[in-house]
Amino acid sequence: MSGLMEKEIDDQRITADEWVTHYLGQLGSFLKGSGVRRDQAQSGNIPCVRYGEIYTTHHNIVRDFHSHISAEVSAEATRLHNGDLLFAGSGETKEEIGKCVAFVGHEEAYAGGDIIILRPKGVNSAFLGYLLNSPPVVRQKASRGQGDAVVHISAAALGSIQLELPKIDEQERIASALKDIDDLIASLDALIAKKRDIKQATMQQLLTGKTRLPGFKEEWPERKLGTEIKMQVGFPFASRFFNRGGQGTKLVRNRDLHGTPDDTYYAGPFDDDYLITNGDVLVGMDGDFRPCLWTGGGALLNQRVGRIKCKSGRRALFFYYLLEPHLAELEKKIAGTTVKHLSHSDVENITCCFPENLEEQSAIGSLLRDVDNEIEMLEAKLSKAAVLKHGMMQQLLTGRIRLV
């Protein structure tokens, strides 16, 4: 391929200048991983990759290890070399078969059974780690998978996959750019996990009175939550008035609290007492009892969803956080044949110690909300980084954008 020629590969338009077509099998030699049963995965301190981990914990590049084997087990496994490409040889679906990760480390490490290893030469393995998981290549692997209940792919089938490769220096630049965005995503993931741990520890201290905020010393009396709050149960609105065309008022159902809203609207008559607004504390009454701080705008409270209504002057935000651990405990205790159910009395009869002082309630709620706001801000950054990476892979791995 040379000059201004262009070639269509799997619906991806690739500029041909300096990109050359190769079969994967031309890039190196294949070998197999071996050994390492599940019960041997933590038998020592030598790093190891097991085939299931390629699906669950490794993505594009091996960054750390989750299995560590003994010297005796390693004698039956396959030693990895820097630059090796590891493919999952079996899986549950053709769409995921042959997922690949690149081993770019220099430490002693091994591959277990059901892993196909390509030991390439003259290419950048990190670049291939990304390219071999790109949609055009995934489609090629899926077309070569064999089996139904369990799907397998062979080294020969992998070897027949066609790739468009730039020169080695451009491979290195592309791999570096994608690694940078991966590093950003990993750092955000770690920071979010740390902030969540801090929030959990803070809740355990502040919501039990073990740690008090400055200026508050009064004892917390033990009493039922029903002395301060009531749970309003949603109304069974007639389904004949339901629609998805945006007519009427948005309806809040159990699935809307923690999943993707289904945008159901209600165009019939209703009592204003069932209107909810941002900042209301809602609780699902079937299956998942986690409280929700509603931010979806004006809507109607449907049946099997409860709203926490505080006595005059009480702070709903404080009770949103106070309820979380108690509802989690209730969810464990309440028995159900298929789906667990929650009643308003289950919530109102929760007995615990909490402050009577309204200012202390407000201070605790505000502090915890600040922590949540910080976590949500980081999650938004993480989401943007993931979108950016997706776009970069689409552009860089097809030659639409060149790093020259």
Give the pLDDT confidence score for residue 194 in this predicted structure: 97
Cα–Cα dist 283/222, whole Å: 23
Residue 331's pLDDT is: 87
- 265-296 pLDDT tens trace: 999 999 999 999 999 999 999 988 999 999 99
Summarize the confidence of residues 58-77 as an average pLDDT: 95
Give, in order, the Cα–Cα distances in Å from 163 to each of 59, 136, 144, 156, 279.
20, 9, 15, 15, 52
In this structure, what are the phi and psi dihedrals at residue 289, rounded to the nearest 5 degrees? Answer: -95, 5
pLDDT for the residue 338: 66
5 pLDDT higher than 90: no
Give percent of the chain above pLDDT 70. 94
Q: Which residue from 342, 333, 347, 348 is spatially nearest to 286, judged by alpha carbons?
A: 342
pLDDT at 172 (0 to 100): 96
Least-confidence region, from 54-68, 305-319, 340-354 = 305-319
What is the structure's pLDDT at 311?
84
How many residues does the structure list for the chain? Answer: 404
Which residue reads 């294949």 in tokens? 30
3-state secondary structure the chain: CCCCCEEEECCEEEECCCCEEEEHHHHEEEEECCCCCHHHCCCCCEEEECHHHHHHCCEEECCCCCEEECHHHHCCCEECCCCCEEEECEECCCCCCCCEEECCCCCCCEECCCEEEEEECCCCHHHHHHHCCCHHHHHHHHHHCECCCCEECCHHHHHCCEEEECCHHHHHHHHHHHHHHHHHHHHHHHHHHHHHHHHHHHHHHHCCCCCCCCCCCCCCCEEEHHHCEEEEECECCCHHHEECCCCCEEEECHHHCCCCCCCCEECCCCCHHHEECCCCEEEECECCCCEEECCCCCEEEECCEEEEEECCCCCHHHHHHHHHHHHHHHHHHCCCCCCCECCHHHHHCCEEECCCCHHHHHHHHHHHHHHHHHHHHHHHHHHHHHHHHHHHHHHHCCCCCCCC
Evaluate the CA torsion angle 189, 191, 194, 196 in order and state its sign: negative
Per-residue confidence (pLDDT) for residue 72, from 0 to 100: 96
Q: Whose structure tokens read 């892979």?
A: 393
Q: Which of 94-98, 255-259, 389-393 has the lowest mean pLDDT?
A: 255-259
Distance CA 290, CA 324 (A): 6
pLDDT digits (tens, 9 = 90+) for 294-327: 999 999 999 999 999 998 777 899 999 999 999 9
Residue 260 in this model has a pLDDT that exceeds 90: no
Backbone angles phi, psi at 2, to 5 degrees: -160, 180
Mean pLDDT, the chain, rounded, equals 92
Instruction: For residue 161, name the pLDDT band (cuts at 50, 70, 90).
Output: very high
Mean pLDDT score, 88-98 = 92
Evaluate if residue 10 carries a pLDDT over 60: no
Indicate the CATH number for domain 21-165: 3.90.220.20
- The CATH code for residues 221-354 is 3.90.220.20
Backbone dihedral region of 356: left (phi > 0), alpha (psi from -120 to 50 degrees) or beta? alpha
**How do 151-152 and 110-111 pair as beta strands?**
unpaired
Give me the residue spans of the domains in the chain.
Answer: 21-165, 167-194+358-404, 221-354
- Residue 301 vs residues 72, 324, 343, 387: alpha-carbon distances, Å: 62, 20, 15, 34
pLDDT tens digits for 24-39? 999 999 999 999 999 9
Note the pLDDT tens digit of each residue in 117-154. Answer: 999 999 999 999 999 999 999 999 999 999 988 999 99
Give the pLDDT of residue 336.
Answer: 55
Angle between helices 316-333 and 168-206 (to 10 degrees): 90
Per-residue pLDDT at 402: 87
pLDDT single digits (tens) 194-246: 999 999 999 999 999 999 999 999 999 999 999 999 999 999 999 999 999 99
**Terminal Cα-to-Cα distance of the chain (whole angstroms):** 18
Q: What is the pTM of this model?
A: 0.83
Same fold, 21-165 and 221-354: yes
